[in-house]
Chains A and B, each alone.
Chain A
Amino acid sequence: GENVEQHPSTLSVQEGDSAVIKCTYSDSASNYFPWYKQELGKRPQLIIDIRSNVGEKKDQRIAVTLNKTAKHFSLHITETQPEDSAVYFCAASIRGSYIPTFGRGTSLIVHP
């Protein structure tokens, strides 16, 4: 089955700095990579996703890049704000499956 590794487990930045979270996946058949943001005690919310036919996708301060050859994808948050503080999960879905495999999560702390 698919295996998703996520790093770092904790990321602390100053407000205004950029934050990068990296994930790798094992199954080359994976073709859908969503990112979820989960605030403490709340539900995970989809913030951005990317498919294997695209190398990069951007939505305001958030961007995701995908390197299919290396089997890794990254989340980039620019101009971080305290409200960006949360746990971020990457995930990967194998083509034909609708069940994603989640990474272990990254706790992002943005200091004002």
Chain B
Amino acid sequence: GAVVSQHPSRVICKSGTSVKIECRSLDFQATTMFWYRQFPKQSLMLMATSNEGSKATYEQGVEKDKFLINHASLTLSTLTVTSAHPEDSSFYICSARVPGVPQETQYFGPGTRLLVL
């Protein structure tokens, strides 16, 4: 099956610093990837859709300048949390669509747990 990886799996940083999270499709090319945020015991909240070679599409209420998304290749999308604050602490999960598979199917990465002190 399709494999999506994320790095790092967890990160602890000081308030004010920036953190970059990578999402990779390992055995397929993903023209579209998605970034979700999940608070404890809550559902997945879509933050943005990452399109290879073009600007990301952000959901309403998500700050573009706060959460920078870059999809520079067909196998890599990055999410950078800029000037992180404690309220940014959360579980960030990416997913990708697989070409040739029913278009609605998404495969998720293992997630990145971010803790901002």
Which residues of A come within 8 Å of B, CB atoms? 32, 34, 36, 41-46, 49, 87, 89, 93, 97-100, 102-105, 107
Contact = CB atoms under 8 A, between A and B. Distances in A.
Contacts of A34: 104-105
B116 interface: no
Interface residues of B, number: 23
Given A93-B104, A98-B106, 12 more contacts: A32-B102, A32-B104, A34-B105, A41-B91, A41-B111, A43-B111, A46-B107, A98-B32, A99-B46, A100-B104, A100-B106, A103-B43
B57 to A, nearest CB: 10
A105 B111 contact: no
A102 B44 contact: yes
Given A98-B32, A102-B44, A104-B42, A41 B113 contact: yes
Nearest to A43: B108
A83 to B, nearest CB: 19
A69 B41 CA distance: 31
* Residue of B44, B49, B108, B109 with most chain A CB atoms under a 10 A cut-off: B44
Given A41-B113, A98-B97, A99-B49, A89 B44 contact: yes
B43 A43 contact: no
Interface string B23-42: 00000000010100000011
A105 B43 contact: yes
A42 B110 contact: yes
Contacts of A46: 105-107
